[in-house]
Amino acid sequence: MSRYNAKETETKWQGVWNDAACFAVTEDRSKPKYYVLEMFPYPSGRIHMGHVRNYTIGDVIARYKRARGFNVLHPMGWDAFGLPAENAAIEKKVPPGDWTYENIAIMRDQLKTMGLSLDWSREIATCHPGYYRHEQKMFLDFLKAGLVYRKESWVNWDPVDHTVLANEQVIDGRGWRSNALVEKRKLPQWVFKITEFADELLDDLSTLDRWPEKVRVMQHNWIGRSEGAHVRFPFVNAPGYSDTAEIEVFTTRPDTLFGASFCALSPNHPLTTGLCENDEQAAAFVAECNRMGTSEEAIEKAEKLGYDTGLRVRHPLDPDIELPVFIANFVLMEYGTGAIFGCPGHDQRDLDFARKYGLTVVPVVLPPQADAADFEIGNEAYVGDGRIINSRFLNDLTVDDAKRRVIEELESLQAGTGTIQYRLRDWGVSRQRYWGCPIPVIHCGDCGIVPVPESDLPVQLPDDVSFDKPGNPLDHHATWKHTTCPACGKEAQRETDTFDTFTESSWYFARFCSPRAENAMDKDAVDYWLPVDQYIGGVEHAVLHLLYSRFFTRALKRCGYLNLDEPFSGLFTQGMVCHETYQDESGEWLPPADLQRDGGGNPITSSGKPVTVGRSIKMSKSKKNTIDPAEIIGTYGADTARWFMLSDSPPERDMEWTEAGVEGAWRFVQRLWRLISEDTEKLPAIGGPVPTAFGDKASDLRRTTHKTIADVTDAIEQFRFNRAVAKLYELTNSLTSARSEEPDALWAKREAFEVLVRLFGPMMPHLAEELWQRLGHKGLLVDEAWPLADDTLTAEETVTLPIQVNGKLRATIDIVVDEADDSVREAALQQPGVQRAIGEKQVRKLIIVKNRVVNIVV
C-alpha cells in the first residue's frame, strides 16, 4: 500500500476544481443564497497561521452550505492600502504599488494551496483605481447628503507615522500601529458623520442575534449613550471678554441640581481661552494642564486640580444661589459641553474637589435606610438610589422621578433641556499619507473647497513619488496637486490627504456582489447577495471595522446604493493562534523552526545550548514564535493543516499550535487513506441492491453512521468543529474494528465510508475528493449533496440506565427503551451494588426518569 501523497493529490484536485470553475457563482434565483465572507487580508507578504485558521473556518461553512443546496458566494480580495507599503518604499526603494501587487501575487498563490472554495473571478484589490474610484463617488454623495463635513479640530497626531488617527485607533494614548505616544494637534479634517446614526447603530445591535454577545456589548459601550440634560447657569456678572452670558453644562444627574456647589470649565473651553487673555494665572494653570500626559498612568495619578476664576453663576432654579466657577483639569472639552456642575454629595470626583477647595457639601439623595436628620456625606459620595431631600419641589421623589420632574421645570423656565449624549464621535478620515485613496476635492483660492466633478473621477494616485522627505509625498510631488478649479477655472490645488484605510474595508463586502460593475454596486446583485450571511474574523475588529461598516451601509442606503441597514447578519469571531516561546541563555527569542531536540526531547539550540521554554502566546514576529503555513502545507499538505486547525480547540477560543498536534492530524489523514483505499475492492458496487436484512454488526454500524451524520451536521451548524472532528474520529474507530465480510456488513461499510468522506469533505476537501473517486464515483464530491440521517436507524432499542442511591451511582442496567417503570424498579433493586448501598436502610422514595436515570432515596 503506497502512502498518501498529499502534495500531488492536492495540486491535482485544485486543478480540477479550477478547470470546472466549481466555485464561480451567479445570481441564481432558483436556489437560496448564502454569502460567506472572511475578513480580507492585508497583503503583507506571506500568509500567517491566523489567515489559515480564518479561511479554514470560512471554507468549512462555504463547502457545507454548498452541499446543503445553497448558492454560495465565497469571495476573496485584498485590503491593499496602508502604511507598510510606504515603509517598504522607504526601506527598499520599491514603489508602494509594486510592493503591494507583488505581495498579492505571492499570497494568492499561497492561499490557493489551501484548497479554498473561493470564486477567484471576483477578486478585488482596494488599491486599484477600479475600486477606489467608487469610494470617491461615495464621498461626493455623502457630502451632498450632509454625511461628510470639514472641521478644524484637535486631532490625535501620531508622531512616528506622521498622520492623524481616529479615536478608535488610539489605544491607551498610543497609536494602534506605531505604539507611539499620541500628540494633540489642530488640523482641518474631513469627518464622516457617524453620530448621525448613533441611535440606530445602538438600537439595531439588538437585531444582530447571530453576533457574539461580547461584540455587541463592546459596540454598545463604545457608542456610550447617556441620558441627561443640558442646563444653563447664567453669569452673575457677565465676563467682559465674552458675549456669552451663561455656562451650559451637561449632566446625567439633574436630580441633584440643588446639591450643586460649583461649576467647572474645561481648560480647552472657549470661555477659558477668553479668560486667559486677561488672567496670567489662569493662563499658567491651563498651560500646566496641557503639559500633563494623556497616558493611562498619567491620568490615573493626576490630582484633581482647579483654578478659581472669580466668576460667579446663578443657580438656574434659584437666582439667589451663586456658585463659583473653576477651570478644572478633569473636565474634557470633547465630551458634553466641556463644562460641568459639581455635586459633591453624589459624585466622588466632585467630592474630592470640593474638600480640596473648601466648597459646601449638601446631601440631596437620602439612602433608603438613612435618617434625613443626621445623614451626612463623609469621605464617600453616595451614588445610589434613594429619596430626594433638601431640594424643594423635588423632595421625597425617587431619583428617576426627580430627573423627569426637574427636566420639566428646566424646560418650562427655558433654563435647560433633556438630552441624550453619546460618547461616540464623528469619524475623522483625513490621513497625511500617500498610499491611500485620494480625497476628491480641490482647494480654490476663490471658490473655497470644490468637489471634483464625477466625470473627472477617479482622482488617481501618481506613480512617480519620492519618499526622501518625511511627510506626505503627495504634497511634495512636483505636479500632482496642481490643477484648475472646476468651478472658476483658475489655478487650484488638490486635496493631498487620503482616506483612512478603514474606509475601503467599510464597503468591500458590497463590491464583491458585482466586482466588475460599472457602478459601485449593481442593484440586482446587492439585493440578491446582501447581507453577508456569515462573516468571520478576529475580535480585534469588534469596534473599528465592524462599526464603520455598519455606518457605511446606512450611509450608502441613504444615498440610494443599496437597501439594507445591517451588512453582516451573522458574525463569528475566531480566537488567535498561539505557540510556545523560546529564549536562549542571553534572552534572545528563538524561532521554533531553528530548534533541535536533545535525548530527553527538550528543545536545544542548533549549537546544543539550552533553551528556556516560555508560555504559549499569540504568534508574533517580535517573539519569533511563528510557524510558516507554507512550510506546514509543503510538508504535510493543506488538509492536515486544516484538520488540526479544527481539531482540538473551539474556534472562538485561542488555540495552541503544536508539532505533536500536526503530527496527530497527519496520522489521521494517513489512517483514513489506508482504511478506505485498502477496502474499496471488497465493497459492493455503487447503487448495488440494498440487503433485505442486516445483522447485528451491520445494524450497529449503520446506527453509528447515521448518528454521526446528525451529530456532525449539528456541530457544523453551531460552529463546534472540534466536536464534529471528535464524532468523525469515533466513526473512523468503529470502521477500523468492523471486519466482517458478510454482504450486509460490506454494504453497511460502503455506506459508512461514503458518509465519512462526505462529512469530512468540507474540512479536508482534497483527501475527500480523492477517496470519493477511489470509492468508484465518477462525479466530483464537491457537487454531491450533504448526507441525510435516517431517523429510523438512529433510534436506540436499548439504553443503559444509571442507578443511583442517594444520588450516587451504584450500578447500571440495560433496559429496552420505554420499559415499564415497574420492571425497571425491580431490576434496579436487584442489582448487587444497589443492595450493598441500601444495606439495612429503608427505601423512602424511588425516582424514575424515563430512559434517563433511577435514583433511590434511603
Partner RNA sequence: GCCCCCGUGGCGGAAUUGGUAGACGCGGCAGACUCAAAAUCUGUUGCCUUCACGGGCGUGCCUGUUCGAGUCAGGCCGGGGGCACCA
Window 262-301: residues binding RNA (CB under 7 A): 266, 292, 296, 299-300
Among 648, 699, 790, 838, which residue sits at the site for RNA (rule: CB under 7 A)? 648
| Site pattern 403..442 for RNA (x: CB under 7 A) | ------------------x-x-------------------
CB of 737 to RNA, least distance (A): 6
Where on the phi/psi map is residue 643: left (φ > 0), alpha (ψ -120 to 50), or beta? alpha
Q: Which is nearer to RNA, 180 or 218 (CB)?
A: 218
Q: Are 446 and 185 in contact (CB under 8 A)?
A: no
Q: Which is nearer to RNA, 18 or 733 (CB)?
A: 733
Q: Which is nearer to RNA, 22 or 333 (CB)?
A: 333
Where on the phi/psi map is residue 176: left (φ > 0), alpha (ψ -120 to 50), or beta? alpha
How does strand 655-656 pair with strand 577-583? parallel
Q: Are 857 and 838 in contact (CB under 8 A)?
A: no
CB of 90 to RNA, least distance (A): 30
Among 11, 87, 620, 722, which residue sits at the site for RNA (rule: CB under 7 A)? 722
The residues in 113-142 that bind RNA, with binding defined as CB under 7 A, are none
Q: Which is nearer to RNA, 486 or 650 (CB)?
A: 650
CB of 229 to RNA, least distance (A): 9
Q: Are 534 and 35 in contact (CB under 8 A)?
A: yes
d(CA 721, CA 712): 8
Q: Which is nearer to RNA, 96 or 592 (CB)?
A: 592
CB of 314 to RNA, least distance (A): 19
The residues in 329-348 that bind RNA, with binding defined as CB under 7 A, are 329-336, 338, 340, 347
How big is the site for RNA, counted in residues (CB under 7 A)? Answer: 83
Q: Which is nearer to RNA, 559 or 857 (CB)?
A: 857
Among 65, 545, 703, 720, which residue sits at the site for RNA (rule: CB under 7 A)? 720
| Side-chain half-sphere exposure of 669, counting CA atoms within 13 A | 32
d(CA 792, CA 690): 16
Residue with cell 445623614: 375
CB of 485 to RNA, least distance (A): 40
Among 475, 527, 565, 656, which residue sits at the site for RNA (rule: CB under 7 A)? 656
Q: Are 489 and 478 in contact (CB under 8 A)?
A: no
CB of 349 to RNA, least distance (A): 6
CB of 493 to RNA, least distance (A): 35
Q: Which is nearer to RNA, 92 or 845 (CB)?
A: 845
CB of 342 to RNA, least distance (A): 7
3-state helix/strand/coil string of 403-434 = HHHHHHHHHHCCCEEEEEEECCCCEECEECCC
Q: Give how far Cα 495 sits from Cα of 117, 156, 474, Å.
A: 41, 20, 9
Q: Does residue 757 touch RNA according to CB under 7 A?
A: no
Q: Are 502 and 544 in contact (CB under 8 A)?
A: yes
* Candidates 202-210, 436-444, 517-525, 643-651; binding stretch for RNA (CB under 7 A): 643-651
Q: Measure the CA dihedral 11/14/18/22, to 10°.
A: 160
Q: Which is nearer to RNA, 177 or 671 (CB)?
A: 671
CB of 612 to RNA, least distance (A): 18
Q: Are 198 and 423 in contact (CB under 8 A)?
A: no
Q: Are 573 and 539 in contact (CB under 8 A)?
A: yes
Q: Which is nearer to RNA, 113 or 156 (CB)?
A: 156
The residues in 37-96 that bind RNA, with binding defined as CB under 7 A, are none
Where on the phi/psi map is residue 360: left (φ > 0), alpha (ψ -120 to 50), or beta? beta
CB of 293 to RNA, least distance (A): 9
Q: Are 260 and 237 in contact (CB under 8 A)?
A: no
CB of 679 to RNA, least distance (A): 14
Report the 10 Å Cβ neighbour count for 741. 10
**Which positions ≥6 away from 189 have C-beta within 8 Å?**
150, 151, 152, 153, 155, 164, 428, 429, 430
- Residues of 166-203 as b/e, b for ≥16 C-beta within 10 angstroms? bbbbeeebbbbbbeeebeeeeeebbbbbbbbbbeebbe
| Side-chain half-sphere exposure of 535, counting CA atoms within 13 A | 26
Among 218, 377, 450, 710, which residue sits at the site for RNA (rule: CB under 7 A)? 218
The residues in 665-694 that bind RNA, with binding defined as CB under 7 A, are 667-668, 670-671
CB of 385 to RNA, least distance (A): 14
* Candidates 481-489, 588-596, 604-612, 716-724; binding stretch for RNA (CB under 7 A): 716-724
Q: Which is nearer to RNA, 28 or 199 (CB)?
A: 199
The residues in 810-849 that bind RNA, with binding defined as CB under 7 A, are 810, 812, 833, 836-837, 845, 847, 849
Q: Which is nearer to RNA, 383 or 413 (CB)?
A: 383
The residues in 599-628 that bind RNA, with binding defined as CB under 7 A, are 601
User: Positive or negative CA dihedral for 135, 171, 419, 248?
Assistant: negative
d(CA 367, CA 346): 11
Q: Does residue 725 touch RNA according to CB under 7 A?
A: yes
Closest CA to 108 of 79, 130, 77: 77
Q: Rounded to 5 degrees, what are φ and ψ at 205? A: -55, -30
Q: Are 545 and 166 in contact (CB under 8 A)?
A: no
DSSP 779: S
How does strand 427-428 pair with strand 183-192? antiparallel
CB of 845 to RNA, least distance (A): 6
The residues in 495-554 that bind RNA, with binding defined as CB under 7 A, are 543
Q: Which is nearer to RNA, 102 or 352 (CB)?
A: 352
Among 312, 404, 697, 723, which residue sits at the site for RNA (rule: CB under 7 A)? 723
The residues in 161-200 that bind RNA, with binding defined as CB under 7 A, are 171
Q: Which is nearer to RNA, 162 or 423 (CB)?
A: 423
Q: Which is nearer to RNA, 65 or 810 (CB)?
A: 810
Residue with cell 531553528: 594
Cell of 451: 468637489
CB of 846 to RNA, least distance (A): 9
Among 143, 180, 449, 726, which residue sits at the site for RNA (rule: CB under 7 A)? 726
Q: Output the DSSP codes for 310-364.
A: EEEEEETTEEEEEEEEEEETT--TTSTTSEEEE-GGG-HHHHHHHHHHT------
Q: Which is nearer to RNA, 419 or 773 (CB)?
A: 419
CB of 103 to RNA, least distance (A): 28
Can you say how many angstroms the Cα of residue 297 is from the centroid of all Cα atoms in its chain?
Answer: 27
Q: Which is nearer to RNA, 368 or 779 (CB)?
A: 368
Q: Which is nearer to RNA, 31 or 836 (CB)?
A: 836
Q: Does residue 632 touch RNA according to CB under 7 A?
A: no
* Candidates 190-198, 222-230, 316-324, 455-463; binding stretch for RNA (CB under 7 A): 222-230
CB of 849 to RNA, least distance (A): 5
CB of 202 to RNA, least distance (A): 14
Among 302, 413, 788, 816, which residue sits at the site for RNA (rule: CB under 7 A)? 302
**Which positions ≥6 away from 594 have C-beta within 8 Å?**
605, 606
Q: Which is nearer to RNA, 292 or 397 (CB)?
A: 292
DSSP 532: B
| Site pattern 226..255 for RNA (x: CB under 7 A) | x-x---------------------xxxx--
DSSP 439: P
